[in-house]
């Protein structure tokens, strides 16, 4: 049986940059991890040469970590038809992020498909396709864009498997697309993983194909099934619960697929500041 790939989202900062990320992941007992190449809410990025990539990988390999996932920043909105400059920024920035992802020796770049900003799902989807074609048709890096399943809050696109499939259908280089399956988002979008686990994955297989799942985000949800919100809960503290998330982590069909925790940090007793990462305990618990 191949080893389960389980880790969490980690930071990348200070002088050590990527080395700090690898150290943080190793401290949690992770064998895979996910990061942003810079702040998710702005376009400021350090030069690739400053990311300390070689030292980070040396440490990672020594601690049993051979794979990482990169998450694209939230500011990329390929679905925007309302403001041309937002779309242009998204295309330009996604191009840079693919280059950075390849430089960091990751093959998976997770991307929120985008929000149509009240222009409608169809217009937004066409714009996403246009943006992805612009980027992928001129980029040869061996990086997959993993479209994330979304909870469906506001005007998000990707709230159903069909909406993600529609993006696939318009993209020229379909072989460069994959899916990031977020358990909290799928629950909040109305797919009943708890009551109908097998049926949800059978439906995903029928619409897109299980072989297209390149990464899982393993999160419990604060919300009821179909709430169309997006609030992650700690493992076992939400409406999905430990048993279903444990089932995802141990599902033999997905053993080689990285699974990333994005659960909330915890507060020290008597404090409201979230200062304690939960990942070491949650990883160990899910591996039981």
Q: Give the whole-angstrom CA distance, residue 39 versus residue 62.
A: 27
* Strand-pair partners of 137: none
End-to-end CA distance of the chain: 15
Q: Give the whole-angstrom CA distance, residue 6 versus residue 3.
A: 9
Buried b (16+ CB within 10 A) or exposed e, 150-177: bbbbebbbbbbbebbbbbbeebeeeebb
Torsion, Cα of 232, 235, 236, 241 (10° steps): 70
* 6-287 CATH, one of 1.10.1040.50, 3.30.360.10, 3.60.9.10, 3.20.20.150: 3.20.20.150
CA pseudo-torsion sign 58, 59, 64, 69: negative
Structural element, H or E, at residue 275: strand 274-276
Binding region for Zn(2+): 71, 112, 148, 182, 185, 217, 230, 232, 262
At 147 the three-state DSSP class reads: strand
Q: Specify the pLDDT at position 211.
A: 98
Q: Give the whole-angstrom CA distance, residue 164 versus residue 178.
A: 10
Q: Give the whole-angstrom CA distance, residue 6 versus residue 98.
A: 23
Tokens matching residue 247? 């089932």
pLDDT digits (tens, 9 = 90+) for 79-107: 999 999 999 999 999 999 999 999 999 99
Domain spans, the chain = 6-287
Q: Specify the pLDDT at position 1.
A: 45
**Cβ contact 163:128 at 8 Å:** no
Binding region: 71, 112, 148, 182, 185, 217, 230, 232, 262
Q: Specify the pLDDT at position 2.
A: 64
Number of residues that this document lists for the chain: 288
Q: pLDDT (tens digit, 0 to 9) for every residue of the chain, 288 residues total?
A: 469 999 999 999 899 999 999 999 999 999 999 999 998 888 889 999 999 999 999 999 999 999 999 999 988 999 999 999 999 999 999 999 999 999 999 999 999 999 999 989 999 999 999 999 999 998 888 999 999 999 999 999 999 999 999 999 999 999 999 999 999 999 999 999 999 999 999 999 999 999 999 999 999 999 999 999 999 999 999 999 999 999 999 999 999 999 999 999 999 988 899 999 999 999 999 999
**Cβ contact 191:200 at 8 Å:** yes
This prediction's pTM? 0.96
């Amino acid at each position: 049986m191949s080893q389960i790939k389980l880790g969490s989202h980690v930071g990348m900062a200070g002088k050590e940059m990527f080395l700090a990320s690898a150290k943080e992941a190793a401290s949690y007992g992770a064998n895979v991890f996910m990061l942003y190449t810079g702040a998710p809410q702005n376009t400021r990025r350090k030069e690739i040469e400053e990311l300390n990539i070689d030292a980070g990988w040396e440490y990672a390999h020594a601690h049993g970590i051979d794979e990482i996932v990169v998450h694209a920043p939230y500011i990329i909105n390929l679905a925007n038809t309302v403001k041309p400059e937002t779309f242009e920024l998204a295309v330009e920035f996604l191009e840079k992020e693919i280059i950075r992802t390849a430089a960091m020796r990751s093959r998976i770049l997770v991307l929120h498909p985008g929000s149509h900003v009240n222009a409608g799902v169809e217009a937004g989807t066409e714009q996403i396709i246009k943006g992805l074609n612009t980027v992928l048709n001129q980029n040869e890096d061996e990086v997959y864009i993993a479209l994330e399943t979304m909870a469906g809050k506001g005007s998000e696109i990707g709230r159903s498997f069909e909406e993600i499939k529609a993006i696939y259908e318009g993209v020229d280089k379909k072989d460069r697309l994959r899916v990031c399956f977020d358990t909290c988002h799928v629950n909040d979008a109305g797919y009943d993983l708890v009551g109908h686990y097998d049926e949800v994955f059978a439906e995903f297989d029928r619409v897109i194909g299980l072989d297209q799942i390149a990464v899982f985000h393993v999160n419990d949800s604060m919300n009821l099934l179909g709430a169309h919100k997006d609030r992650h809960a700690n493992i076992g503290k939400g409406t999905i619960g430990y048993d279903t998330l444990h089932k995802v982590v141990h599902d033999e069909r997905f053993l080689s697929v990285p699974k990333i925790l994005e659960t909330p940090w915890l507060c020290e007793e008597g404090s409201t500041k979230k200062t304690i990462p939960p990942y070491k305990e949650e990883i160990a618990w899910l591996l039981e």
